[in-house]
Structure 1
Amino acid sequence: MRVFYGWIVVAGAFLVLFVAYGAQYSFGVFFDALLREFGWSRASLSGAFSVYAVAYCVVGFPAGRLTDLWGPRVVIAAGGLFLGVALAGMSLVAELWQPYVLYGLVAALGMGTAYVPCNTTVVKWFVARRGLAVGLASSGASVGTFALPPLAQLLVTAVGWRTAYVVFGVGIFVLVNLVAQVMRRDPESLGLSPDGARRPPVPAAGADDGVGPLTRAIRTPAFWMLGATFTATWIPVFIPLVHLIPFTRDLGHSALTGAWVVSTVGIGAVAGRLVMGAVSDRIGRKPAVGVAMALQAVGFLGFLLAGRGLPLLFGDALVFGYSYGAISTLFPAIVGDFFGRGQAGAIVGFLFALAGAMAGWGPLIAGAIYDATGSYDLTWTFSALLNVLAVILLVRSEPPRSARA
Structure 2
Amino acid sequence: MSVELRPMPNSGAVASAPQSDEEDGNTLIHTMPPTDKGAAAWKFLLSSFVIEALLWGFPLTFGVFQEYYSSQPQFEGDSNIAVIGTVSTSIYFLGAPLAAPVVKRFHRYQKHMVVIGWAMCVASLVGASFATSIAGLIATQGVLYGFGFLMLYFPVLRMLNEWFVARRGLAYGVLYAGGGFSGVGMPFLLQVLLSKYGYQTTLRAVAVAQFLGVAPILHMIKGRLPPSPHGAMRMFDVSFLRQPLFYCFALSNLFQGFAYYIPSLYLPSYASAIGLSGTMGALLLAAHNLATVFGQIGFGWLSDHTNNVFMLIFISSFTSAVAAFTLWGFAHSLPLLVIFALVFGMFAGGFLINWPKFGAMLSDDPQPVYSMMAFGKGIGNLATGPITAGLLTKPVSGGYGMGRYESLILFLGSFMLCSSLGAFAWPLKKRA
User: Is the 8 Å Cα contact of residues 101 and 236 (structure 2) preserved in structure 1?
Assistant: no
2:263 paired residue among 240, 249, 259: 240
User: 2:71 is matched by which residue type in structure 1?
Assistant: R
User: 1:89 is matched by which residue type in structure 2?
Assistant: G
- The separation in 1 between residues aligned to 2:123 and 2:164, in whole angstroms, is 33
2:87 paired residue among 51, 71, 75: 51
Aligned to 1:363: 385
CA offset at residue 238 of structure 1? 1.2
User: Is the 8 Å Cα contact of residues 225 and 393 (structure 1) preserved in structure 2?
Assistant: yes
Secondary structure of 1:396 counterpart: helix
Query: Greater CA radius of gyration, 1 or 2?
Result: 2
Q: TM-score, normalised by structure 2?
A: 0.80
Larger displacement relative to structure 2 (381-390 or 43-52)? 43-52
**Equivalent residues in 2 for 1:68-147 (5 A)?**
68-71=104-107, 72-113=110-151, 115-147=153-185
- The separation in 1 between residues aligned to 2:71 and 2:304, in whole angstroms, is 47
Aligned to 2:46: 11
2:69 matches 1:34: yes
CA offset at residue 379 of structure 1? 1.1
Aligned to 2:331: 306
Query: Residues 265-285 of structure 1, C-alpha deviation per residue, up to 9 Å, x if partnerless?
Result: 111001101111112222333
2:348 paired residue among 324, 332, 343: 324
User: Is the 8 Å Cα contact of residues 317 and 417 (structure 2) preserved in structure 1?
Assistant: yes
- CA distance 1:337–1:155, shift in 2 (3 Å): farther
User: Is the 8 Å Cα contact of residues 180 and 289 (structure 2) preserved in structure 1?
Assistant: yes
- The separation in 2 between residues aligned to 1:334 and 1:173, in whole angstroms, is 35
- The separation in 1 between residues aligned to 2:352 and 2:392, in whole angstroms, is 27
- CA distance 1:347–1:69, shift in 2 (3 Å): farther
- The separation in 1 between residues aligned to 2:68 and 2:415, in whole angstroms, is 31
User: Is the 8 Å Cα contact of residues 239 and 362 (structure 1) preserved in structure 2?
Assistant: yes
CA offset at residue 26 of structure 1? 2.5
- CA distance 1:316–1:362, shift in 2 (3 Å): same
CA offset at residue 216 of structure 1? 2.8
**Equivalent residues in 2 for 1:390-401 (5 A)?**
390-396=419-425, 398=428
- CA distance 1:328–1:120, shift in 2 (3 Å): farther
User: Is the 8 Å Cα contact of residues 150 and 256 (structure 1) preserved in structure 2?
Assistant: yes
- CA distance 1:306–1:113, shift in 2 (3 Å): farther
Query: Residues 260-314 of structure 1, C-alpha deviation per residue, up to 9 Å, x if partnerless?
Result: 110101110011011111122223333223211112112322211221x211111
1:261 paired residue among 284, 287, 294: 284
2:226 matches 1:189: yes
Q: Which has the higher helix share?
A: 1
User: 1:132 is matched by which residue type in structure 2?
Assistant: L
- The separation in 2 between residues aligned to 1:53 and 1:327, in whole angstroms, is 16
Provide structure 1 residue ranges, at least 5 long, that are not aligned to the other structure.
191-211
Please, what is the CA RMSD of the aligned residues?
2.6
- The separation in 2 between residues aligned to 1:69 and 1:8, in whole angstroms, is 25
Aligned to 2:21: none
CA offset at residue 170 of structure 1? 2.6
Provide structure 2 residue ranges, at least 5 long, that are not aligned to the other structure.
1-33, 228-234, 397-403
Aligned to 2:10: none
- CA distance 1:259–1:334, shift in 2 (3 Å): same
User: 1:46 is matched by which residue type in structure 2?
Assistant: A
Aligned to 1:200: none
User: 2:99 is matched by which residue type in structure 1?
Assistant: A
CA offset at residue 147 of structure 1? 2.2
User: 1:384 is matched by which residue type in structure 2?
Assistant: G
Identical positions, percent = 19
CA offset at residue 139 of structure 1? 1.0
User: 2:167 is matched by which residue type in structure 1?
Assistant: R
2:96 matches 1:60: yes
- The separation in 2 between residues aligned to 1:150 and 1:75, in whole angstroms, is 31
- The separation in 1 between residues aligned to 2:424 and 2:48, in whole angstroms, is 31
- CA distance 1:359–1:66, shift in 2 (3 Å): same
Secondary structure of 1:43 counterpart: coil
User: Is the 8 Å Cα contact of residues 59 and 85 (structure 2) preserved in structure 1?
Assistant: no
User: 1:383 is matched by which residue type in structure 2?
Assistant: L
CA offset at residue 42 of structure 1? 5.9
CA offset at residue 343 of structure 1? 5.5
User: 1:48 is matched by which residue type in structure 2?
Assistant: I
- The separation in 2 between residues aligned to 1:120 and 1:330, in whole angstroms, is 17
Query: Residues 211-254 of structure 1, C-alpha deviation per residue, up to 9 Å, x if partnerless?
Result: x9243333433333222110011101111111111111111011
CA offset at residue 120 of structure 1? 4.5
- The separation in 2 between residues aligned to 1:400 and 1:62, in whole angstroms, is 30
User: Is the 8 Å Cα contact of residues 97 and 372 (structure 2) preserved in structure 1?
Assistant: yes
